[in-house]
Amino acid sequence: MSDVQSIRCPACGATNRVKRDMVAQGLAATCGRCHARLPLAQPVEVTDGSFAADVLDAPLPVLVDAWAPWCGPCRAVAPIVEELAADFAGRVRVAKLDVDENPRTAARYDLRSIPTLLVFRGGREVDRVVGLRPKAEIAERLEKALASR
């Protein structure tokens, strides 16, 4: 049973067994009791070394949260990014990039202000959201990026 993990449904509290490879791939899953979406997808940490594999070569569009631990607005947007990871599970991969720890990637994408959210599709940046923005606005921009396939 090591290939499954238990995830508690946030809506009804039921414990659901979900395959670990589904979680790793960010695929969507629903509760067996109430059919609510389970919070499988968590943002993945990316680095200068893993950025190409985790973001540019990803089979799904990727939302990258460029942040720093000392940044107040970055800490404020973090829960929004986690909610978006769950809301878009199976459709968008969500990643976090600490700009202080990964200066090459930050310089490559000219990240001068944080928080900055970058949307990648097919290895190319297709949108950029700078600053603390409401969840609805970020979700709308993600939907537009998904629709323009």
Which residues are part of the catalytic machinery? 71, 74
In terms of phi and psi (left: phi > 0; alpha: psi -120 to 50; beta: otherwise), the region of 131 is: left
The span from the first CA to the last CA of the chain, in angstroms, equals 38
Structure tokens at 22: 């589904």
> Beta strand 93-98 with 116-121: parallel, antiparallel or unpaired?
unpaired
* Residue 88 CB neighbours (<10 A): 21
